[in-house]
């Protein structure tokens, strides 16, 4: 259909259409801004149990969302929310948050646990959580400068078996004690 310059009859008819029918589909920003009430403006969380998403690797955000959506990854509210998005929308949100500028959270950490956690990291985690957790590798997320409480909840979910692990991760993680896991969480939170 083409609107002619003199096509006032056509145009008048179209004026009756609601603006909604003319709007573009939701952009990555439109989709992602809705998350910021909990995850902070542009994904910089004010903590402590809500993870920051700013600067996270796209693949880990996308995999997390798909895991929430399928129920493979345990959650309270995220499963219910993730079901509201198509794979393409999840991809767009992953892209959006991965491009935002991360900020180091201000939080209280235990110095002794950081030291212990560093040893745990080097022995058991460093192969995938490279550069002290500052860089993503494959689908391993960036864990450095994350909120401690969030990491602790994840560690609890792994330790209790609620959150499943792939074989390589399980092989490294299962021998670790709860204290080791907590120490590792302190260590990663401390890395700037």
Partner 1 sequence: MTLDRRNFLKMLGAGAGASALQGCAGTAPMVSAGGGEIMPKSGRRVVVVGGGYGGTIAAKYIRMLDASIEVVLIERNRQFISCPFSNLVVGGIRNMSDLTIGYDKLASNHGIKMLYGDVTAIDAGAKTVAMAAGTLKYDRLVLSPGIDFRFEELAGYDPVTTPEIMPHAWKAGPQTELLRKQLLDMKDGGTVVITLPLAPYRCPPGPYERANMIALYLKQHKPKSKIIILDANPDITSKAGLFRKGWAKHYAGMISYKGANKVTAVDAKNRSVLIEGVEEVKADVLNVIPPQRAGDIAVKAGLVGADKKWCPVNATTFESTLAKDIHVIGDACVAGAMPKSGYSANSEAKICATNVVALMNGRETIEISGINTCYSFITDKEAVSVAGVYKVANGAIVGVPNSGGVSPDLSELEAIYAESWLRNILTEMST
List residues near partner 1 by CB under 8 A. 1-3, 11, 14-15, 18-27, 29-31, 33-41, 45-50, 76-77, 80-85, 89, 149, 153
* Of 89 and 91, CB closest to partner 1: 89
* Of 29 and 165, CB closest to partner 1: 29
Measure the CA–CA gap between 142 and 100, rounded to whole angstroms: 14
Tell me how far, at minimum, the Cβ of 64 lies from partner 1, in Å.
Answer: 16
Residue 41 CB contacts under 8 Å (≥ 6 apart), including other chains: none
Containing H/E element for 113?
helix 111-120
Tell me how far, at minimum, the Cβ of 166 lies from partner 1, in Å.
Answer: 24
The full DSSP string for 136-148 is: -BTTBPP-TT--H
Question: Which has the closest alpha carbon to 139: 124, 149, 129, 151?
Answer: 129
* Of 23 and 112, CB closest to partner 1: 23
* Of 49 and 104, CB closest to partner 1: 49
Measure the CA–CA gap between 161 and 56, rounded to whole angstroms: 25
Reply yes or no: is the peptide bond before residue 78 cis, omega within 30 of 0: no
Tell me how far, at minimum, the Cβ of 148 lies from partner 1, in Å.
Answer: 12
Tell me how far, at minimum, the Cβ of 30 lies from partner 1, in Å.
Answer: 5
């Amino acid at each position: 259909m083409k609107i002619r310059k003199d096509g006032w009859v056509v145009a008048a008819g179209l004026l009756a259409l609601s603006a909604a029918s003319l709007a573009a589909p939701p952009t990555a920003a439109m989709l992602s801004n809705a998350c910021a009430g909990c995850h902070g403006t542009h994904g910089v969380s004010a903590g402590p149990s809500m993870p920051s998403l700013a600067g996270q690797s796209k693949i880990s955000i996308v995999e997390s969302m798909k895991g929430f959506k399928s129920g493979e990854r345990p959650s309270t509210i995220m499963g219910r929310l993730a079901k509201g998005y198509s794979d393409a929308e999840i991809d767009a949100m992953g892209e959006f948050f991965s491009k935002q500028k991360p900020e180091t959270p201000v939080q209280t950490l235990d110095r002794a646990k950081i030291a212990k956690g560093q040893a745990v990291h080097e022995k058991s985690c460093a192969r995938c959580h490279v550069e002290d957790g500052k860089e993503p590798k494959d689908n391993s997320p960036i864990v450095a400068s994350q909120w401690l409480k969030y990491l602790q909840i994840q560690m609890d979910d792994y330790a209790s078996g609620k959150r499943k692990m792939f074989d390589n991760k399980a092989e490294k993680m299962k021998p670790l004690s709860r204290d080791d896991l907590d120490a590792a969480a302190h260590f990663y939170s401390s890395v700037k």
